[in-house]
Structure 1
Amino acid sequence: MTKQELVDRRQREIIAVASRVFAERGYHNTGVADIARELGAGHGTFYRYFESKLDLLRHVLDHAVDRIMAALADEDPGASDTAQEYRAQVERIGAALFRLLRDDDHLVRLLTMHASNVDAEITARVSEAAESLFSLTESYLRNGVDKGFLRADLDIEITARGVNGMILLGALNALGREEAINSERWIRGFTDLMFDGITAR
């Protein structure tokens, strides 16, 4: 293993530990000493890889967004030609996000509860990540409108925000709850609401 590979691996280790500690304690309540202690290392080790705690948070947020995008990367927004195919896509996306939630439940806490109240730069970074996810959802909806299997008068921008909000609040609600294990129930509830609504047929 090269020196750069060792550096990259150590950085990933620090980011993984910091993600968990920031999510559990909050950014302001976490010190470099807390992260170093969890790593079993000294302050000097930390500062060899990151300029400051804020610099580390930037890397942590970038890592969180990369993880979410990677979980969604297998799906092509333009692949569906029918509502049934799109529904299947949504179910697969839901399953991927639940796997991510199980593996890294701290990602949701980081992006929603703690990171946005650090400073203006971090708030902007979180907002930028949210806009990227909104744009991705918009591209799925636009595909459906363009191909005629979603309503022609659909407000794509607002609907994308509603769908993402539903997913985010559902993930927050699932954190730490036994029901979160039953991902099929959550996915079925989301997709039923998206595609069938709530009125009797």
Structure 2
Amino acid sequence: MRLTSPSVSISLELLTRCAVKHGRRQATVSPLRKQRDFDRKESTRQELLDAAIDVFCDKGYHFSLISDIVTKAGVGQGTFYRHFKSKRDLIDSIMDEFGRMMLGQFDFMTVHLPANADEYREASKNAIQAMATLLEKNRKLALLLLREAPTVDRDFEQRVNELYNQFAGLAAFYLDYAVDRGFARPCNTTMVAQAIVGMGLRHINLWLHDETNRTDIHELINELVDFAFLGFGA
């Protein structure tokens, strides 16, 4: 049997209490520290994305260097490579975020499908208005992708086309729903959906390049939706 002096026992007890207390403190602080580290990492990543959008818009994708981007963001190149593998990986991330933002504007309409033609038209206008607001807020990003997408490489151009096809798929889904409910005429919904997306892209391009702000976006949305519902008929 090992004998332990009172002083040693007290010391061991204090050490045990400190260890338990320290462990509890770590259990409380550690998640907070992890969250702060995560927030800091995400903030730096977003700063790099924002800097890249500015640099790509000013110089074009192919003439932009990683050194230009990190200088704009105020970070080192090592920080860049902790977030992105390459310049191409960076513009892929920009494209991914843009696609999620744009498609997300139709989530409400998808969940709360309209019950009649009037609700359908109103829901369409609301969704397009939300998308227009998002485009206006991210004008440089939208212009960047419209201008640079065909020049990056064929794979990236294909990714952009896939995004357009997702919009066309959504439009076809809503058209099928309207036809099934009887408040849209029977038609080739796949073909009409592609036509609607093409028409929308052309008007978006014109609107985003209109630096004089002569285009009334509300009038444009009303005309597009009315044309989609009424066509040329009087």
Q: Mark yes or no: TM-score above 0.5.
A: yes
- Cα RMSD, aligned residues only: 1.9
**Contact 1:77-1:140 within 8 A present in 2 as well:** no
User: Offset at 1:37?
Assistant: 2.1
**Contact 1:75-1:89 within 8 A present in 2 as well:** yes
1:35-50 → structure 2 map (5 Å cutoff): 35-50=69-84
User: Offset at 1:176?
Assistant: 3.8
1:146-185 → structure 2 map (5 Å cutoff): 146-152=180-186, 154-177=187-210, 178-180=213-215, 182-185=216-219
User: Offset at 1:110?
Assistant: 3.3
- SS for the counterpart of 1:8 is helix
Distance change in 2, residues 1:74/1:24 (3 Å): farther
Distance change in 2, residues 1:93/1:51 (3 Å): same
Distance change in 2, residues 1:26/1:72 (3 Å): farther
User: Offset at 1:78?
Assistant: 6.5
Deviation string 1:65-121 (CA, Å, 9 cap, x unpaired) is 011122222222761232211110111012101101110013332333212321232
**Contact 1:144-1:150 within 8 A present in 2 as well:** yes
**Contact 1:78-1:140 within 8 A present in 2 as well:** no
Question: What TM-score does the superposition give when structure 2 sets the normalisation length?
Answer: 0.77
Distance change in 2, residues 1:138/1:77 (3 Å): farther
**Contact 1:77-1:143 within 8 A present in 2 as well:** no
| Other-structure match for 1:34 | 68
Higher Cα radius of gyration: 2
Kindly provide the amino acid, as one letter, of the partner of residue 78 in structure 2: G
1:49-88 → structure 2 map (5 Å cutoff): 49-76=83-110, 79-88=113-122
Distance 2:158 2:146 in 1: 13
Distance 1:23 1:140 in 2: 35
The list of structure 1 runs, each at least 4 consecutive aligned residues, that deviate by more than 3 angstroms after superposition, is none
Runs of 5+ unmatched residues, structure 2:
1-34
Kindly provide the amino acid, as one letter, of the partner of residue 227 in structure 2: L
Counterpart pick for 1:94 among 114, 118, 128: 128
Kindly provide the amino acid, as one letter, of the partner of residue 190 in structure 2: E
- SS for the counterpart of 2:110 is coil
Question: What TM-score does the superposition give when structure 1 sets the normalisation length?
Answer: 0.89
Counterpart pick for 1:3 among 37, 41, 47: 37
1:86-165 → structure 2 map (5 Å cutoff): 86-152=120-186, 154-165=187-198
**Contact 1:91-1:187 within 8 A present in 2 as well:** yes
Kindly provide the amino acid, as one letter, of the partner of residue 155 in structure 1: N
Higher alpha-carbon deviation: 75-84 or 164-173: 75-84
- SS for the counterpart of 1:97 is helix
Distance 1:60 1:13 in 2: 12
Aligned residues: 198
Distance 1:28 1:158 in 2: 35
